[in-house]
């Protein structure tokens, strides 16, 4: 097996695939090293804001599903920041034919907050060719669910999905407070 190969876990439906993500979601980047620093600082500030919001909704005993969804987003954000902050400090840089080593003699490949985030879950569910009548993509090849992601990304996505699905229950203007028995007051 070589670097960049995928390890099948469930046939052709789920693979472990090592990717070092230099930016944010789907590998998007902004402005080189200054952009990476700005992104890292933004992530830390966002974690502070999410943590404060989580603290207030716990104290005010908001709906437990809202607390769970915000907790998932909070935990995922912390995981990605920790990866970005420390991965570059403790690993050497990997390449197409070289594997990263932990605690290399010369130190890691990047400074604090400049590391990459490791993604590893790949779910190529199905593939095909777009019908010719489709505007812009007709006749093109597609692979459904191509992104490679990690547990932190999944945690954030699940938390956001819960917020979207149950937003009317959480944010209707009427505050629902629950007792310790989870009975609505």
According to DSSP, the β-strands at 141-144 and 126-129 are antiparallel
Q: What's the sign of the alpha-carbon dihedral 168, 170, 174, 177?
A: positive
- Residue 148, token pair as written in the block: 């490679």
Beta bridge partners of 122: 15, 148
Active site residue 83: no
Q: Tokens 């097996």 belong to which residue?
A: 1
Least Cα distance to 101 among 3, 1, 17 occurs for 3
Per the CB < 8 A criterion, the answer to whether 147 and 123 are in contact is no
Which of 71, 62, 66 shows the shortest CA–CA distance to 162?
66
Annotated active-site residue in 5, 119, 140, 181? 119
Q: Choosing from 83, 140, 153, 181, which is the catalytic residue? A: 153
- CA dist 164 and 180 (Å) reads 26
153 is catalytic: yes
How many helices and strands (H and E) does the chain possess? 4, 6
Phi, psi of 3 (to 5 degrees): -60, 140
Catalytic residues: 119, 153
């Amino acid at each position: 097996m070589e670097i960049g190969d995928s390890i099948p876990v469930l046939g052709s439906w789920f693979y472990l695939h090592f990717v070092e993500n230099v930016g944010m979601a789907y590998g998007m980047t902004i402005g080189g090293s200054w952009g990476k620093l700005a992104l890292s600082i933004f992530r830390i500030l966002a974690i502070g804001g999410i943590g404060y919001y989580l603290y207030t909704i716990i104290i005010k005993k908001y709906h437990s599903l809202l607390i769970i969804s915000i907790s998932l987003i909070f935990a995922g954000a912390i995981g990605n920041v920790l990866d970005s902050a420390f991965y570059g400090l403790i690993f050497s840089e990997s390449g197409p034919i070289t594997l990263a080593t932990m605690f290399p003699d010369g130190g890691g490949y990047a400074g604090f907050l400049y590391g990459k985030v490791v993604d590893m879950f790949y779910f190529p569910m199905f593939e095909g060719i777009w019908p010719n009548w489709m505007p812009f993509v007709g006749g093109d090849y597609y692979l459904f669910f191509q992104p490679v992601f990690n547990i932190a990304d999944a945690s954030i996505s699940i938390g956001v999905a819960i917020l979207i699905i149950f937003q009317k229950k959480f944010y209707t203007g009427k505050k629902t407070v629950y007792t310790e028995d989870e009975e609505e007051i």
